[in-house]
């Protein structure tokens, strides 16, 4: 395997597989292909990783880059901000509305949340979704694995 110092996300795996199979997928997935790392593992690009955690008491959404992490608590409308280089255990919340990096991450997180709401609305309305055409052999394989009935 290849170890790269840049952030990658799980949502990048499928676009990478599609890319390796020469299947166009730019419009299908939020993630991006990682194949450029296969040929040049030292290539650098600014990458942001997003996550969400839906807990019993409060949902959290976060964004991080190679150095900083911003966490948004959706119910209490509070933020935490950490310098992962200086504080990898996330013990010292340094959030301030005056911090320019926190501001930039907050804007990117808000944009990501807005896009996710739009996608969710489309999915619920079944808009812009083309049903997959699956041949009988694939249907049987999926059925044998318990994915479909």
pTM of the model: 0.69
How would you class 81 by CB atoms within 10 Å of its CB: exposed for 0-12, middle for 13-18, buried for 19 or more?
A: buried
Task: Read off the pLDDT band of 81 (50, 70, 90).
Answer: very high
Question: Which one has a higher pLDDT value, 65 or 128?
Answer: 65
Per residue in 19-55, pLDDT (tens digit) is: 888 887 766 677 888 888 877 767 776 788 899 888 7
What is the C-alpha to C-alpha distance for residues 142 and 139, in angstroms, rounded to an integer? 5
pLDDT of residue 38: 79
Question: Which one has a higher pLDDT value, 2 or 134?
Answer: 134
Q: How far is CA 46 from the centre of its chain?
A: 14
Per residue in 7-23, pLDDT (tens digit) is: 788 888 888 888 888 88
- Average pLDDT for residues 83-98, to the nearest whole number? 94
Q: Which residues is 51 bridged to in the sheet?
A: 62
Which residues have C-beta within 8 Å of that of residue 120, sequence separation ≥ 6? Answer: none
pLDDT of residue 37: 80
């Amino acid at each position: 395997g290849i170890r790269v110092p840049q952030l990658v996300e799980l949502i990048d795996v499928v676009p990478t597989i599609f890319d390796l199979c020469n299947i166009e997928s730019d419009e299908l997935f939020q993630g991006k292909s990682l194949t450029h790392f296969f040929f040049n593992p030292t290539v650098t690009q600014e990458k942001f990783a997003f996550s969400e955690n839906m807990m019993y008491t409060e949902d959290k959404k976060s964004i991080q880059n190679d150095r900083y992490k911003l966490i948004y608590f959706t119910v209490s409308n509070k933020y935490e901000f950490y310098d992962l280089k200086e504080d990898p255990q996330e013990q010292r919340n340094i959030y301030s509305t005056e911090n320019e990096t926190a501001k930039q991450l907050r804007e990117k997180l808000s944009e990501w949340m807005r896009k996710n709401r739009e996608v969710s609305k489309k999915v619920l309305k079944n808009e812009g979704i083309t049903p997959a055409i699956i041949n009988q052999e694939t249907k049987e394989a999926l059925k044998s694995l318990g994915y479909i009935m």
